[in-house]
Amino acid sequence: MLQSPPVPSRRSPRRPPRWTGRPIVLVGLMGAGKSTVGRRLALRLALPFVDADTEIETAAGMSIPDIFARYGEAYFRDGERRVIQRLIDGRPKVIATGGGAFVNDETRALILSDALAIWLDAPVEVLAERVKRRDTRPLLRGKDPATVLRELAAVRNPLYALAHLRIPSANTPHDMTVRAIMEALSK
């Protein structure tokens, strides 16, 4: 008698899908290097690079901090989902997302089904050091970055772990992270 193969649980280890030219979407906490690594990865792959945050600002006609201040996070996340849906159009490209994009159930489902999701995973200490360099992150305004990032990591890392690939993003040059992604894509 033929039996159906077992259905893997969402938490079970799974072999990442081979990259077949679909959009590559970088996810992870703020400061993980999604934009910087994304630009360099796109150059190495000879693909267009798109920063979802830049596209959101263009679509809204205002900065992300202004969107948060005027309309709140829920409004921003809805616009973010719509922009990412537009960007994942089947054409090969590298897309850097904002740190909270993959937390939205609809956005995450879209990315997982129509793109190759890569989680850039960095220790909180590294992230805190990186984000101190710019005062443009609404979730950090007036707060200790390490505390906020630790709280965000507790909630978001289990969701980021659903990405197809996990690439460590340590306190090393971003080119090392790009090399690690290229190696993972070639397997």
Task: Convert the pLDDT of each residue in 154-185 to its tens digit.
Answer: 999 999 999 999 999 888 888 999 999 999 99
Mean pLDDT across 102-107: 94
Which residues carry a binding-site annotation for ATP?
31-36, 137
Cα–Cα dist 96/16, whole Å: 19
Mean pLDDT across 39-53: 96
Which residues carry a binding-site annotation for Mg(2+)?
35
Q: What letter does residue 12 receive in the DSSP assignment?
A: S
Cα–Cα dist 59/62, whole Å: 8
* Integer angstrom CA distances of residue 114 from 90, 107, 130: 7, 11, 30
pLDDT higher at 90 or 134: 90
Structural domains present in the chain: 24-186 (3.40.50.300)
